[in-house]
C-alpha cells in the first residue's frame, strides 16, 4: 500500500506540474499540449487526489487538507446532480471551473473550435480557435465572440488574415481577437 501511495503521489504532482507548465506555455507562447490530453491529465489528477485524501487520513497528515479539495469537488458535483438546486449549482460552478471541459463545436484537420466554459452566469458564445501542430501539440489562434446562434454542423470554416469565415447557408465573417 505504501508503494501505491508513493506512486500515486508522484503521478499526481507530476501531472499537476505538467498541466501548470502547459498553462504557462500556452499563455505566453500560444503553443500547448492537445486539449483532450490535458483533460485526461486533469481527470487522473482528480482521481489520484481523491485516493490520496483517503490514504492520508490515517494517520492524519496535513496533506489531507490539500487532497480534500478533490473530494469536495466530486461531492458538490454529485449533490448538484442529485438535488439540482441553486446553492449546489453555484458551489459546483466555482469548484469545477478548473476541470470543466470545453465543448468541441467544430473540428477538421486545420482548425478546431471549442466553446469555452466561463462559469455559470457568463455571457454567451465565446469560442477558442486552435490549430493542431505535430502529434500532441496545438497552437492557439485566438478567441471569437459570436452574438447569434450558429450551427457548426453543416458549416465550412476557414481563417483569412484576422477573421474567421463561416460558410453555411450564408457567409459570416467574424474578427479574431
With CA atoms as reference, report the closest residue to 95 among 124, 121, 69. 69
With CA atoms as reference, report the closest residue to 32 among 44, 41, 23, 40. 23
Q: With bands split at pLDDT 50, 70 and 90, how would you rate the model's confidence at 10?
A: very high
Q: State the CB neighbour count (10 A cutoff) for residue 1.
A: 6
pTM metric for this prediction: 0.76
Would the pLDDT of 119 be above 70? no
**Residue-range definition of the domain harbouring residue 44:** 2-96
Q: In the listed set 44, 69, 96, which residue is the last one of a domain according to the structure? A: 96
Would the pLDDT of 112 be above 90? no
Q: How far apart are CA 107 and CA 157, in angstroms?
A: 9
From residue 67, alpha-carbon distances to 54, 101, 145 in Å are 9, 21, 36
Looking at the structure, tell me whether residues 91 and 108 fall in a common domain. Answer: no
Query: How many residues are there in the chain?
Result: 177
> Which pLDDT tens digit goes with each residue over 12-35?
999 999 999 998 998 899 899 988
Looking at the structure, tell me whether residues 152 and 122 fall in a common domain. Answer: yes
Is the Cβ–Cβ distance between 40 and 63 less than 8 Å? no
Looking at the structure, tell me whether residues 81 and 155 fall in a common domain. Answer: no
Q: In the listed set 70, 96, 122, which residue is the last one of a domain according to the structure? A: 96
Domain count within the chain:
2
Beta-carbon contacts of residue 20 (< 8 Å; ≥ 6 apart): none
> Which pLDDT tens digit goes with each residue over 73-106?
888 777 777 777 777 777 777 777 777 777 777 7
Q: In the listed set 96, 126, 159, which residue is the last one of a domain according to the structure? A: 96
Would the pLDDT of 136 be above 90? no
Amino acid at each position: 500500500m505504501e508503494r501505491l501511495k508513493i506512486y500515486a503521489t508522484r503521478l499526481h504532482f507530476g501531472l499537476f506540474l505538467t498541466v501548470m507548465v502547459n498553462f504557462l506555455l500556452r499563455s505566453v507562447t500560444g503553443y500547448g499540449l492537445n486539449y483532450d490530453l490535458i483533460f485526461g491529465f486533469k481527470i487522473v489528477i482528480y482521481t489520484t487526489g481523491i485516493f490520496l485524501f483517503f490514504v492520508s487520513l490515517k494517520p492524519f497528515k496535513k496533506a489531507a487538507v490539500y487532497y480534500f479539495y478533490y473530494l469536495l469537488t466530486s461531492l458538490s458535483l454529485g449533490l448538484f446532480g442529485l438535488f439540482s438546486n441553486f446553492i449546489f449549482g453555484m458551489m459546483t460552478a466555482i469548484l469545477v471551473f478548473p476541470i470543466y471541459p470545453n465543448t468541441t463545436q467544430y473540428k477538421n484537420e486545420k482548425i478546431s473550435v471549442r466553446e469555452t466554459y466561463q462559469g455559470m452566469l457568463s455571457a454567451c458564445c465565446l469560442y477558442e480557435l486552435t490549430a493542431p501542430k505535430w502529434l500532441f501539440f496545438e497552437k492557439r489562434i485566438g478567441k471569437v465572440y459570436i452574438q447569434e446562434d450558429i450551427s457548426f454542423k453543416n458549416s465550412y470554416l476557414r481563417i483569412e488574415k484576422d477573421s474567421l469565415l463561416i460558410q453555411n447557408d450564408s457567409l459570416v465573417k467574424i474578427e479574431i481577437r
